[in-house]
Amino acid sequence: MAGPLVLVGGGKMGGALLAGWLAGGVAPADVWVIEPAAEARGRLAATGVHSLAEAAALPADLRPEVVLFAIKPQMMATALPTYQAVVGRSDALVLSIAAGTLAARFEAAFGAGTPVVRAMPNTPAAIGQGVSALFANPAVSDRQRALAERLLAAVGSVHWVADEAQLHVITAMSGGGPAYVFLLIEALANAAIKAGLPAALAWPMARGTVVGSGALAAASAEPPAVLRQNVTSPGGTTQAALAVLMAEDGIQPLFDRAIAAGTARSRELA
């Protein structure tokens, strides 16, 4: 698929990407992972990749095709200067999955002509069911664009955006989206428990309902609004519940405010 690759950060998302690459045929010997946590390094080393504590331990002659940053935005100021040499010696594609960190930040650190792709995946990548949005700066070649797409497609579906500013919204909507779905499972179960259902029944039924509905939405050519209407009988129980959820103070205004708040925070991180 590609190589050599340097992965900066072997946490949950970095680890999910690595698992997808290895499953897709990337040779472990072509991957160098920089991870300061000793326990995580041991787990990564067990996959056969090179697992190092810091950038200074990378081979002096290493010329990677890609340097991928899978670290928190707050760590960038300290981390980026330590990768100037390894990025510069091979004109590597810089690929980042950090929320809010603009391509200009990497261009400032590595040079104005540095090819940069920003990606925003989400945690279902851990099971190959992620969804990622990608943005490329003008320095990215067609070959590098295809390479970035292959690397993210290893853990799910890929969508490109031409406007980097859209990644702020995508970070709030899709990047954080799994947390909102998990909250929906919690809310469904808790509401059922308050209505009299035993917890031992409410939790698996709430989880199964959300999982099954998502699978149906993925398998159906119908838009979600039509699928919702298919469940709703006139004058029935679902319609009574939807009258609450779709009221002026219902779920849509809540999501409007939630996504706006997440988008604003992403912009602050820039």
Is the pLDDT at 25 greater than 90? The verdict is no
Provide the 8-state DSSP code for 165: T
pLDDT for position 222: 97
Prediction pTM value = 0.89
Is the pLDDT at 64 greater than 90? The verdict is yes
Between β-strands 93-96 and 66-69, what pairing exists: parallel, antiparallel or unpaired?
parallel
Domain ranges of the chain: 5-163, 177-269
CATH architecture of 177-269: Orthogonal Bundle (1.10)
Average pLDDT rounded to a whole number, residues 212-223? 97
Is the pLDDT at 193 greater than 90? The verdict is yes
pLDDT for position 100: 87
For 78-118, how does the pLDDT look when each residue is reduced to its tens digit (9 = 90+)?
999 999 999 988 889 999 999 889 999 999 999 999 999 99
For 41-63, how does the pLDDT look when each residue is reduced to its tens digit (9 = 90+)?
999 999 999 999 999 999 999 99
> What mean pLDDT is reported for the chain?
94
5-163: what fold? Rossmann fold (3.40.50)
Q: What is the distance between the alpha carbons of residues 36 and 52, in angstroms, rounded to a whole number?
A: 8
CA 10, chain centre distance (Å): 14
| CB atoms near residue 132 (< 10 Å) | 25
Q: Which of 110, 71, 74 is nearest to 94 (CA)?
A: 110
For 126-152, how does the pLDDT look when each residue is reduced to its tens digit (9 = 90+)?
889 999 999 999 999 999 999 999 999
**Exposure b/e, 15-47, CB count within 10 A at least 16 = b:** bbbbbbbbeeebeeebbbbbbeeeebbeebbee
pLDDT band at 2 (very low <50, low <70, confident <90, very high): low
For 234-258, how does the pLDDT look when each residue is reduced to its tens digit (9 = 90+)?
999 999 999 999 999 999 999 999 9
